[in-house]
Amino acid sequence: MSPSKPPRLHNELYATIHPSKLKGSLDSQLVVITGASGTIGQAIAKSFAIAGAVIYLLDYVEAPLDKLKETCLKLGARQVFSARCDVTSFEDCETVVNMVKEDAGPIDVLVNNAGVAGMGLFHKKDPKAFMNTMAVNLNGPYFLMRLVLPDFLARRRGCIINMASRAGTTTGPLLIDYHTSKTALIRLTACVQAEVDLHKVEDVHLYSLHPGAVVSDMSKGAGTPPDLEVQAAFPEVLQKMAEWMPNFKTTPYVSGMTCVALATGIAKKALRGRYHDCTQDLDDIIAQANTLEQDPDLYGLSVKFLGDMPNDGGMENRPGEEPVPFPEVDE
């Protein structure tokens, strides 16, 4: 296996995902975006507008979307619709998907961007709050993927982009529900792609993304009540988090235009089903598609053991071991 080369990193738009290059690239394709009113959601919507898509904006609260709709039309969107959608409810998602198809036709691209996060101690956090994070960050994408995938398979084309997070690849305290939900979303994306591939449908492709270090309401903690107990018990952790913020320099349009580029299919050989950090140069990754194809652990969740032992789950029996009888008792 040839050694891989690290891709270049970008906090700003670069040649491969520049709006001038992708302008009109998804002409009249129908794109559904959840969490559309947030910082990253708006950037994604504007990016697909540049690509000439028909856009359906979804959010828990529909009212703030009016201005965004106007902006998208000015940027080149063919049509823009919006609706309220509670992604934690399968019935609500089903109703909205049917409405989208009635209003605008078959869906071509689904971007699951809606997400929440809230800090707190695991053993003291209200279970309802924990499960709400899981419901928004994992159940919502699952519901919508489940609803659009039959049509994608029938039409033999379609793209699903799940906005995950670097948090889904790391271990950390105080945001355990967020880490857990994003890890599950990355794995869900990969598993669904593996199942889609059983159907030999090359043009149905899925991705999970880290948007980069973007300053947003979520990253700033807006709307999350300060946990006084956490502040009192672990001030050093909160101080460290505060020190990270000056390093949040990635424009949200990097993830927005990356979504557009991926939806065109340019990286499906290299990244289909995989986790991608949007700050990494897509051209550099595409150029190493063969290396990625040979190593399923690249751009995915994996486990490391001492001595580089394989993760074979015990299927490789060790030679020379005799059966050891377990003590028996009279029952």
- Taking only the tens place, the pLDDT of each residue in 166-179 is 999 999 988 999 99
Residues 181 and 137: beta-carbon distance below 8 Å: yes
Task: Examine the pLDDT at 63 and tell me if it is beyond 80.
Answer: no
Residues 137 and 182: beta-carbon distance below 8 Å: yes
- Taking only the tens place, the pLDDT of each residue in 241-297 is 778 788 889 999 999 999 999 999 999 999 999 999 999 999 999 999 999 999 999
**Per DSSP, which regions of 164-295 are E strands?**
204-210, 275-277
The set of catalytic residues is 178
- The neighbouring-strand residues paired with 58 are 83
What is the end-to-end Cα distance of the chain in Å, rounded? 56
pLDDT of residue 223: 43
Question: Is 22-308 a domain of CATH 1.10.357.10?
Answer: no
Dist CA 35 CA 115 (whole Å): 7
3-class DSSP assignment, residue 46: helix
CA-wise closest residue to 199 among 246, 247, 152? 152
In eight-state DSSP terms, residue 60 is S
Dist CA 282 CA 300 (whole Å): 16
What proportion of the chain, given as a percentage, has pLDDT over 70? 96
Q: Can you give 228-249 as a three-state secondary structure string?
A: HHHHHHCHHHHHHHHHHHHHCC
Question: Domain ranges in the chain?
Answer: 22-308
Residues 82 and 56: beta-carbon distance below 8 Å: yes
In eight-state DSSP terms, residue 326 is P
- Taking only the tens place, the pLDDT of each residue in 171-205 is 998 899 999 999 999 999 999 999 999 999 999 99
Average model confidence (pLDDT) across the chain:
93
pLDDT of residue 224: 52
Task: Examine the pLDDT at 222 and tell me if it is beyond 50.
Answer: no
- Taking only the tens place, the pLDDT of each residue in 108-125 is 999 999 999 988 899 999
